[in-house]
Copies of this chain bind each other. A is one copy, B any other.
């Protein structure tokens, strides 16, 4: 018998769908119940075998679950938590996959009170695509998942969530909510803002059609994340605004320095920056490939 009798996934998108697939493939779950607002997406999830049944009523979806995974945009977390709160047993583990943790924790405490079986989480994985169609069981393999257990979190609940992600092939680490939000602002939220910003800027230039026509592979890679879901990223920018603001300010200061070097034609100083960046980036890539 599978360790988890019923897993409920609220928001069967890229992340929720991929975890459901991975856990089914690993024999970790008996039944996956999908919940969410978009019936077309849930029907597709059923057709694809990602869920075994679905419910449009979130409380009905969560009823009887051993684990509820909430994979909705940050702005929708509170409403989901409110909707499922009445049907949760004390041991029902609730976890989420939100890209910023502070507001999720606020929302959870507001909806549930201090809940020992709530475990905030965030898989560092994804693509610029969204929706259950884009989900696949291998998405989390060798990826990192950050859990940010709270003072009130029961270590057994954390262990249960950890086991899920490990079964999906991920490497699980724990850290504080604040630290998570700072790190993700730097490595994920800031680059997304920069990429969205660049494409937006260029697309409003007079000759933007021509500009894009002569863009090549480097530009395609650089702007890939600008194809991400606008609603998800709106919510992230609002939820984690303090850390993003800080990261963006630091970056803009450094960019002003680079602008001064370009203006002065200071090739030596530019080369030093580029060389330093290339070394750091090559080290990072080597680390990722290990």
Contact = CB atoms under 8 A, between A and B. Distances in A.
Interface of A: 75, 124-128, 143-144, 146, 183-184, 186-188, 190-203, 205, 207-208, 210-231, 233-235, 237-238, 241, 244-245, 248-252, 254-256, 258-259, 261-263, 265, 267-268, 270-271, 273-278, 280-285, 287-288
Contact of A216 (B187, B211, B220, B238): B187
A218 to B, nearest CB: 5
- Give the oligomeric copy count: 2
Contacts of A221: 221-222, 224-225
A254 B216 contact: no
Nearest to A123: B216
A276 B203 contact: yes
A158 B262 CA distance: 32
26 contacts: A127-B217, A187-B216, A188-B215, A192-B218, A194-B198, A195-B277, A198-B277, A199-B280, A205-B250, A212-B283, A212-B287, A215-B288, A221-B224, A221-B225, A222-B222, A222-B224, A222-B225, A223-B284, A226-B277, A227-B278, A227-B285, A231-B271, A234-B274, A241-B263, A248-B255, A252-B252
Given A144-B214, A207-B183, A262-B193, A233 B282 contact: no
A276 B200 contact: yes
A267 B236 CA distance: 9
A190 B255 CA distance: 11
Given A186-B211, A191-B222, A238-B265, A230 B274 contact: yes
